[in-house]
Chains A and B, each alone.
Chain A
Amino acid sequence: MNRREFIKLGAVGSAVFVANPTLMNNTLQAHDGRLFQAYEKVKLVDDNGKAIKASELEVEKEYIFHYPYVGTPNFLLNLGIPAKRKVILKSQTGQEYLWSEGVGAFGAIVAYSGICSHQLMHPNKEMSVVSYVKKEGKTMACDRGGMIICAAHLSAFDPEEGGKNYAGPANEGLASVVLEHDEKSDELYAVGILGPQKYQEYFGSFKAQLKKDFGSRRKAKKLVKIEAPVTTLTQYTKEVLKT
């Protein structure tokens, strides 16, 4: 093993370690190891590389960042009210996992994978059929707003409840990005993924589009390091299709 490889290995090891205290504090549980995975801790930053401040996120605005891979989009939302705490979710294969809480001063900030758990619809640079419908908004997918919706197959997920599947053909919730909030600096970090990950199927399904958006699928498959830029959905994609 050469030194460079050793350093790489060390970096991966420390990434796991960083997330572990969260696990030990019992704020996060996964009965099955597959349902929680720690990735490198990265800071959420704006276009200029400046740290995003949790208190400055607009309520119910759809922010997008990519994590844990360069090509895997997530929604970052300030729900405006505290998300529910200690929500038990169930994967399609029956494993239970515990979603702990939102972060930020009021526990209102949450992040979920933008890749639908049903058939992997997600925001790309051309368009997005997945979006957040505001609490006061209406959607065909279900009887109320305040939901992350896939407009293609009409699955609805509740961001207040750990991304639980609320309506439509999805049989499990959205994976969530485990966030950490630094109270002193008001900065946000992504540290891992909780819930059913769909990355392997996602990378298998959208080769041509990943090439278009990220240069190549290989590039899209790279892990995000150090920081993850945050943008808004409308800036990220040309067209948002809501129903």
Chain B
Amino acid sequence: MSINRRDLFKLGAVAAAATITATQVSASTETKAQETSKLKDKSKGKRVVIIGGGFGGLSAAKYIRKQDSSIEVIVLEKNSIFMACPYSNTYLGELKETTLKRLTHDLYSGAKIYGYDIIQTTVTDIDRKAKSVSTTDGTIDYDILVLSPGIAYDYKGQFPNWSDEKIRDVAQNAPAAMITGSEHLALKRMLEDMDGGNVIITKPEGKYRCPPAPFERASMIAHYMEKEDIPGKVIILNSSKGIAKGKAFKESWKEVNKGSVEHRDDCEILDVDMEKGTITYNQEVAEDKYKKITEKFAVLNLIPKNKANPVTLMAGVKTNAWGGVIMNGASFQSKTDPNIYAIGDVVGHALPPSGQTANWTATMAAQEIAAQLNGKTWKMSFPYRSANVCYSVVGADEAIMVTHDMSFDGKVIKGKGHVPKPKDGNGKYRSKGVAKLASSWFDGIMNDMFV
């Protein structure tokens, strides 16, 4: 690999530009001095180390311990607080039941109940030969390593001419809010400060976290603007024509938001001028015919291209172009190394990167890992009908949904989606019942990790 370790760490840091802090930067320079100390000495027993304490990592930690309580499990997480990305658009929309408290949780309760360790630190390297992970606070040895680091932003890939400073400016002042934390709070603040004008949301090319998220966000922000009587509309600049749950969203934009959400197809973002508050893009108006448009925004939610968090590259296992770990068939084990697993956003399967997928892949991987550590084999039994369900809230008390059946095509696990019309929807895709289910869904998945 031409990239060296320090570069890689930098890359990871840039990808998470919005969360860079002075303490993190200084921590990285101290890495060398602390590298030799052990985060925790390893006993003779079996040990699983999990990188990432999100929906995937915390679910995996719980279910590995439930599967076999003789396995020691340690989660490495760089944040000090858990905040849910799923359902967070309802916080932007100010739905009354969604408080910040409902979206957040301390990271320690699951560890206490299920008997795993959680250590707040940043991973700097993975040594597969030594079966050891280096962090800013020391090293830790593993028998099995689970990669669950989530996504990173690829500003550099999408805007190669932007300086680091510009990327930082855009990341902080037009936050993507696809990785939770300050970005969501900042976006909320900007919406609250806004007296009028348009909110622009960009939907990136390629695989990105939670396919319906930008569209649900448009619905929720439009709802918020109507509720607060803020003049203006929400404009989605879509890199393609594709809209996840498209028919259902279009129906609700028309009928619930009464046209205050505008969707524009085939837009290639060229540049952003944060000072002037404008975004410039090329829209393909006919085959290979482009129109250059500059649009003013009051609030910009620039969602750049996503990629797998580059922690996956530190492991040196085979990955696809997006950074997803190539899997060993119908499995969550990497093809390169039987002691490295991947779950959640970074799996090399054709699954949507979502909280529910992270949770589902974690429950599967937990069974597989426990089997491996006990010298047994474990096989998935396809198809998994309705293994995934994903809700999008489209108004004050209405939501739409998609379900996925999981199958294996000989190479990867694939989800096939189905957008149903609910029984209480009177022929529409949305209903009040579905909104209640969405709310229950969220409580269920949060409880699953923390209670």
List residues of chain A with CB under 8 Å of any chain B CB.
Answer: 92-94, 118-121, 127, 129, 140-143, 151-156, 167-169, 171, 201, 204-206, 239, 241-243
Contacts and interface: CB of A to CB of B under 8 A. Distances in A.
Sort A-B residue pairs by CB-CB distance and give the 5 closest, nearest first.
A119-B444, A167-B385, A152-B440, A154-B386, A205-B447
Given A140-B420, A171-B363, A152 B437 contact: yes
Interface string B327-356: 000000000000000000000000000001
A242 B437 CA distance: 9
B360 interface: yes
B207 interface: no
Contact of A92 (B66, B386, B433): B66
A152 B444 contact: yes
A34 B370 CA distance: 19
A46 to B, nearest CB: 30
Nearest to A129: B440
Contacts, number: 87
Nearest to B378: A94
Nearest to B63: A92
A168 B406 CA distance: 10
A243 B441 contact: no
B444 to A, nearest CB: 3
Interface in B436-450: 436-437, 440-441, 443-445, 447-448
Interface of B: 63, 66-68, 113, 356, 359-360, 363, 367, 370, 384-389, 403, 418, 420, 422-423, 433-434, 436-437, 440-441, 443-445, 447-448, 451
A205 to B, nearest CB: 4
A238 to B, nearest CB: 11
A29 to B, nearest CB: 22
- Taking chain A's interface residues, is the majority helix, strand, or loop, or is none over half, making it mixed? loop
A121 B447 CA distance: 10
Nearest to B424: A241
Contacts of A121: 440, 444
Contacts of A142: 385-386
A157 to B, nearest CB: 13
Contacts of B447: 119-120, 201, 204-206
Nearest to B436: A241
Contact of B388 (A141, A169, A241): A169
A204 B386 contact: no
A155 B447 CA distance: 17
A154 B441 CA distance: 10
Contact of B389 (A127, A143, A154, A206): A154
B97 to A, nearest CB: 12
A242 B423 contact: yes
B400 to A, nearest CB: 12
Contacts of A242: 423
Given A153-B441, A153-B444, A201 B420 contact: no
B362 to A, nearest CB: 11
Contacts of B370: 93
B444 A168 contact: no
A201 B114 CA distance: 11
B59 to A, nearest CB: 10
B436 A127 contact: yes
B437 A140 contact: no
Given A93-B66, A121-B440, A205-B447, A168 B363 contact: no
Given A152-B440, A201-B447, A205-B443, 17 more contacts: A92-B66, A92-B367, A93-B68, A93-B370, A119-B447, A129-B437, A143-B385, A153-B444, A156-B386, A167-B385, A168-B386, A169-B363, A204-B451, A205-B447, A241-B437, A243-B422, A243-B434
12 contacts: A92-B67, A92-B363, A94-B367, A120-B447, A127-B436, A140-B418, A152-B444, A153-B389, A155-B386, A167-B385, A204-B451, A243-B437
Nearest to B442: A152
Contacts of A92: 63, 66-67, 363, 367
B120 to A, nearest CB: 24
B403 A154 contact: yes
Contact of B387 (A140, A151, A168, A204): A168
A170 B443 CA distance: 16
Nearest to B391: A152
Contacts of B385: 141-143, 156, 167-168
A218 B380 CA distance: 40
Nearest to B445: A119
Given A120-B444, A169-B360, A204-B113, A141 B386 contact: yes
B344 to A, nearest CB: 15
A146 to B, nearest CB: 15
Nearest to B421: A140
A141 to B, nearest CB: 5
